[in-house]
Amino acid sequence: MSRSSKKGPFIDPRLLEKVAKTTGVINTYSRSCQITPEFVGKTFGVHNGRKFINVYVTEDMVGHHLGEFSATRTFKGHGRVVKRVLEKT
């Protein structure tokens, strides 16, 4: 369910302060923070539950959430195809 338009987008105030001060990678746990035009051109280290994933923000990402670009699960495939050898008896 999306956020009410009356409330406006959720933007972490501490993250906005860090964007104004810092020029390097900004590490954050705030995956639900919506990307604003001030974030364009910055690199964020978005935490995925285990480590920080570097996300470089472009203009196309404005309006999305930071967590969308930091996957939390590792896809390991749909099972292995096992080559079976028929034994002659």
CA geometry: angle 18, 49, 68, nearest 5 deg = 70
> Residue 28 sits in which domain range?
13-69
**Tens digit of each residue's pLDDT (9 = 90 or more) over 13-70:** 999 999 999 999 999 999 999 999 999 999 999 999 999 999 999 999 999 999 999 9
The burial class, CB within 10 Å (0-12 / 13-18 / 19+), for 57 is: buried
- Read off the pTM: 0.80
Domains in the chain: how many in total? 1
Evaluate whether residue 87 is within a structural domain. Answer: no
Does 74 fall in a domain? no
39 within some domain: yes
Residue 75 lies inside a defined structural domain of this protein: no
Here the CATH number for the domain that contains residue 22 is: 3.30.860.10
CA angle 9, 24, 72 (to 5 degrees): 55
Does residue 75 have a pLDDT over 90? no
